[in-house]
């Protein structure tokens, strides 16, 4: 099963999040893995590139801000992502398809309340008050 098929299957059971939200989390996982483990070495077999929930959320934060800038908060809202818990729900929905793996220590609670989306994705782009 490819990623798009898996997401269609997941969204039949849980339609809260748009397909774009799932793509964003997948790309954020790639970003988080690069932050934690570095770039994969060419010609070498991939070793375990597991990241924790908070590490994935840091990759998510960086990727979203770098990619979408001032539009970040509104896009996330439109795609159904309103808090870090939503990222965790998407991760565990993808895990349920077998496309993402998990360790015994991974829990949905790892994603709960890690940071506030308004503070993280909206406030940095607020216009500054005139001096």
List, for residues 28-69, the tens digit of each pLDDT value: 999 999 998 887 777 665 556 789 999 999 999 999 999 999
Q: Name the residue ranges covered by the structural domains of the chain.
A: 3-13+24-40+47-124
Decide: 29 and 100 in contact? Cβ < 8 Å.
Answer: yes
Nearest alpha-carbon partner for 64 in 90, 35, 38, 28: 28
Phi-psi region for residue 38, left (φ > 0), alpha (ψ -120 to 50) or beta? left
- pTM of this prediction exceeds 0.95: no
Residue 60, both tokens = 């998510």
């Amino acid at each position: 099963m490819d990623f798009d098929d898996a997401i269609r299957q997941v969204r039949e059971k849980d339609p809260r999040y748009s397909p774009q939200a799932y793509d964003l989390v997948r790309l954020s996982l790639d970003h988080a893995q690069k932050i934690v483990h570095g770039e994969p070495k060419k010609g070498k077999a991939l070793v375990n590139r597991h990241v924790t929930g908070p590490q994935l959320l840091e990759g998510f934060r960086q990727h979203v801000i770098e990619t979408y800038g001032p539009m970040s908060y509104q896009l996330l809202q439109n795609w159904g992502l309103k808090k870090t818990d939503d990222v965790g729900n998407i991760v565990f929905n993808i895990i349920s398809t077998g496309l993402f793996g998990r360790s015994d220590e991974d829990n949905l609670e790892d994603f709960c309340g890690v940071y506030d989306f308004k503070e993280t994705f909206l406030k940095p782009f607020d216009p500054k008050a005139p001096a």
